[in-house]
Structure 1
Amino acid sequence: MPIKVPKGLPAVTALQTEGITVMEGDTTYRPSDRPLRIGLLNLMPNKIETETQIARLLGATPLLVDLTLIKIANHSPKNTPVSHLKSFYRDWVEIREQVFDGFIITGAPVESIPFEQVAYWSELTQILNWTQTNAHSCFNICWAAQAALHHFHGLPKYALSEKAFGIFRHHSLESRSPYLQGFSDDFFIPVSRWTEMRSADIPPGSGICVLIESPETGLCLLDDPKHHSLHIFNHIEYDSQTLADEYFRDRTIGRRINIPRNYFPRDCENLQPRNSWRSHAHILFGNWINQIYRTLPQAC
């Protein structure tokens, strides 16, 4: 089915090249084709790349999706042109009266900062509270997952001695979960973070269920039914080149960084990485969209 995005969004060309049907701008639907309304609060520094990654996964699902791009009102990102934000994004305060079937919040490059000291923490906590009444299901990614778990459950984060960086083997713990239907027993997911949360800190009675974890990098995917949310600490949405881009960027600016593990063939950074996680990314997002549709009060 198609995905509807703002008219002129750069992601359109890439998605169409990959065979995804895209509807733009004010395209109307037949009454029988009521789409799922998905909001994307994009906190990533390279917003254009993230838009494409998320839209690719939503657009490949069997249901019609209408994607709204949202940003924090009082924060000016450094790596995305102001013209792009003005053309394609809406401030959360502009859409706070609206209701969404699904709402995605991405990671952000603020891991080293205590939650309460993040410049937009106050607005983000308002948004997290708002999702409890205005979004049927939430999908929080990387730092946003940590932020939501800290806000709703008080979980602390822990600094790692070195960055968890690379492609790591994971396994599912709840094969009966509707979010893991079609998953292999073990699989690979990209990881790129300096902090972690730990299962020992999950409060008893919280209802949180750990769905995916890694022997090397710990918790990955948590189901939080009391807050109708999925929290994923790792980047299953990443493109094949995303870790390479992060690695070369950090090395160029002199930041301490190890070569991403299990990523470049033979650990040779001149060789093209092979994508070993794309299929599971599609499965996870497809399962999430299907679960939204299946559990809506009046699916149509």
Structure 2
Amino acid sequence: MSILCNYNLKGIEDSRDSGILFENKNNAKIKIGIINLMPFKEETESQFFNLLGRYDLTVEVEFLYPDNHISKHTSTEYLEKNYIPLSKLEERNYQGLIITGAPIENLEFEEIKYWNELKPVFNLKIPSVYICWASQGALYHHYKILKHPLKEKIFGVFNHSVNKNKLIPLDEFHAPHSRHTYNQKEDILEAGLMIIAENKKAGVYMAATKDLQKIYISGHGEYQMDTLDKEYRRDLKNIPENYYKDNDPNKESFFTWDKHRDIFYKNWLNMILEQVL
């Protein structure tokens, strides 16, 4: 259970309590790049450390940022010292790539300053996981699949039926969603993609190419137990469904999605390892 990474990343401190070891010796078998588009970088760092550092496998993790973007919540100095600019991505020799979501769903893709930086990233021929907005962006780039506005935000934890595969050998699982837009199931199927998991209300949670090299996730399996609570306390609008006991934000919350994400990311890393060896 160890991560090889830059020791100056702030997300390390919130991850040590999980029993994860952080190393500076280059003995990792897999190198993963994470393009962190989320506003609160430290929180996202910790989330992925807790996911990728829980297995009997040392994983090297590097975080990247778009050159053409100024973060509102993280200093440019911190990013320049501790992250890799996207312009250097192809020099890093990653075996796997993760692109996070971003709170920019209501903008057209071409309006986003770093959209042109992401287009060549979407084309990389390495195993890639696209999350929430990044999933919508990749689907648009690869297949011209449009995103559509929801009448109200999908926010909460939903139970998904599963088409079993080597990454998720389950019949069903819970996972969080937090978004204002969606992709139509019919468009995803027409593109020739597999639908791996879906919920009647929340829609398609996970789709993938038939070789599982490109995985599109509309929700947030990486969220920690308190992330939905933080979002609710910040906005004080929608109460996340199926998260608090009796749907009451004054009562305890339930962490019902850890099993599925543990299985998914473990199997994803093992799939990459098989390709590397």
Equivalent positions of 1:32-111 (< 5 A) are 34-111=28-105
Tell me the secondary structure at the aligned position of residue 188 of structure 1: strand
Q: Kindly tell me: are residues 201 and 207 of structure 1, through their superposed partners in 2, closer, same or farther at Cα, counting changes over 3 Å? A: closer
- On the 8 A contact 1:207/1:226 being kept in 2, the answer is no
How far apart, CA to CA, are the structure 2 residues paired with 1:246 and 1:121? 26
In structure 2, the residue matched to 1:250 is 235
**Aligned partner letter, 2:21:** T
> Residue 269 of structure 1: CA displacement?
1.3
**Aligned partner letter, 2:183:** M
How far apart, CA to CA, are the structure 1 residues paired with 2:262 and 2:4? 18
Deviations, residues 88-126 of structure 1 (Å, cap 9, x unaligned): 111011232332110000001110011111221111112
Deviations, residues 154-207 of structure 1 (Å, cap 9, x unaligned): 10111000000011111102x1x11113x3x22211110000001211364x44
Given the alignment of the two structures, is residue 140 of structure 1 paired with residue 114 of structure 2, yes or no?
no
Q: How many percent of aligned residue pairs carry the same amino acid?
A: 34
Tell me the secondary structure at the aligned position of residue 249 of structure 2: coil
Which one of the candidate residues 112, 121, 143 is aligned to 1:127?
Answer: 121
Given the alignment of the two structures, is residue 278 of structure 1 paired with residue 258 of structure 2, yes or no?
yes
In structure 2, the residue matched to 1:215 is 200
Given the alignment of the two structures, is residue 189 of structure 1 paired with residue 187 of structure 2, yes or no?
no
How far apart, CA to CA, are the structure 1 residues paired with 2:64 and 2:26? 21
Deviations, residues 201-236 of structure 1 (Å, cap 9, x unaligned): 1364x4410000011111010112468211100001
How far apart, CA to CA, are the structure 2 residues paired with 1:48 and 1:242? 13
How far apart, CA to CA, are the structure 2 residues paired with 1:155 and 1:90? 29
Equivalent positions of 1:219-298 (< 5 A) are 219-225=204-210, 228-251=213-236, 257-296=237-276
How far apart, CA to CA, are the structure 1 residues paired with 2:200 and 2:83? 38
In structure 2, the residue matched to 1:5 is 5
Structure 1 stretches (4+) deviating beyond 4 angstroms? none
Tell me the secondary structure at the aligned position of residue 179 of structure 1: coil
How far apart, CA to CA, are the structure 2 residues paired with 1:51 and 1:57? 10
> Residue 273 of structure 1: CA displacement?
1.1
Give RMSD over aligned pairs. 1.6
In structure 1, the residue matched to 2:19 is 19
Q: Kindly tell me: are residues 28 and 218 of structure 1, through their superposed partners in 2, closer, same or farther at Cα, counting changes over 3 Å? A: closer
Which one of the candidate residues 22, 25, 28 is aligned to 2:26?
Answer: 28
Unaligned 5+ residue runs, structure 2?
A: none
How far apart, CA to CA, are the structure 2 residues paired with 1:188 and 1:149? 23
How far apart, CA to CA, are the structure 1 residues paired with 2:198 and 2:4? 33
How far apart, CA to CA, are the structure 2 residues paired with 1:226 and 1:290? 14
> Residue 84 of structure 1: CA displacement?
2.4
> Residue 264 of structure 1: CA displacement?
1.4
- On the 8 A contact 2:96/2:272 being kept in 1, the answer is yes
- On the 8 A contact 1:153/1:203 being kept in 2, the answer is no
Given the alignment of the two structures, is residue 201 of structure 1 paired with residue 187 of structure 2, yes or no?
yes
Tell me the secondary structure at the aligned position of residue 61 of structure 1: coil
Q: TM-score, normalised by structure 1?
A: 0.88
- On the 8 A contact 1:39/1:100 being kept in 2, the answer is yes
Q: Kindly tell me: are residues 94 and 237 of structure 1, through their superposed partners in 2, closer, same or farther at Cα, counting changes over 3 Å? A: same
How far apart, CA to CA, are the structure 2 residues paired with 1:283 and 1:98? 27
Paired residues, number: 277
Tell me the secondary structure at the aligned position of residue 140 of structure 1: strand
